[in-house]
Amino acid sequence: MPRIRTFIALDTGKAIRDRLASLQGTLADTGAEVKWVEKKNLHLTLLFLGEVEDRELVDVCRAVADVAGQHKPFELSIEKAGCFPNPRRPRVLWVGVGKGTQEVCALHDDLEKPLLELGCYRREERRYTPHLTLGRVKSERPMDRLAAALQKEQGFSAGETVLCEVHVMSSHLTPQGPEYTVMSRAKLGTT
C-alpha cells in the first residue's frame, strides 16, 4: 500500500513569504551554516502526520474539512525571530505568530482528536507552539553573529493576513529538498 508523507498546514501568502525570505537573507549574512527552507515551502505547520497510507487520505481530508468548517476565518500576524532550543546552540531558526495565536492553537487542538481516532497521528510530547521554520543550523561552530542578528530581529514583523483555509499537504523528499503539494483545501467557517 503506497504511503504519503503528510502534514496539515496554513499558508500565509506570498507577501509574508517574501518578507521571510528577506529575513533569511539578513540572517544568512552572519555566515552561519544553515539549511534554509525554500521561500515557496515556508508555511505554518499545524500537525505533522508522517507516512499516511494512500487509502486513509480521504478520511484525513474529510476530518480536516469538518474541523475547519467549525472555525471562522481569522487574522494572523507573523512576527519576532527566534530559535530552538536557545541562542547559544541554535538548531532551528523560526518566526512566531502574534495575532491569531489562540485561533491557530484551537485549530491544532481540534484537529488532534479526529486524526488520533483515525490512527494516522501521534500526539507530540511537547506543547504545540505555532511558528514557521526558516532554517536548520548545520554546524556546531560558535553562533555569536547569528545570536546577535536574532536579537536584533526581536521586533521583526512579516505582516498580517487573513486565514480562510487549512491545507492537507504531501511532502516528497528529493536530493534537492522537499517538494510540497496541496492535496486538499478546507475552508474555514463553512458550517
Catalytic residue among 43, 71, 108, 167: 43
3-state secondary structure of 97: strand
Helix 14-28 and helix 144-152, axial crossing angle in degrees, nearest 10: 140
71 as an active site residue: the answer is no
Residue type, 110: D
Catalytic residue among 71, 108, 131, 167: 131
**Distance between CA atoms of 44 and 79, rounded to whole angstroms?**
13
43 as an active site residue: the answer is yes
Angle at 37 between CA 124 and CA 180, to 5 degrees: 75
What is the torsional sign of CA 187, 56, 171, 113?
Answer: positive
Catalytic sites, residue numbers: 43, 131
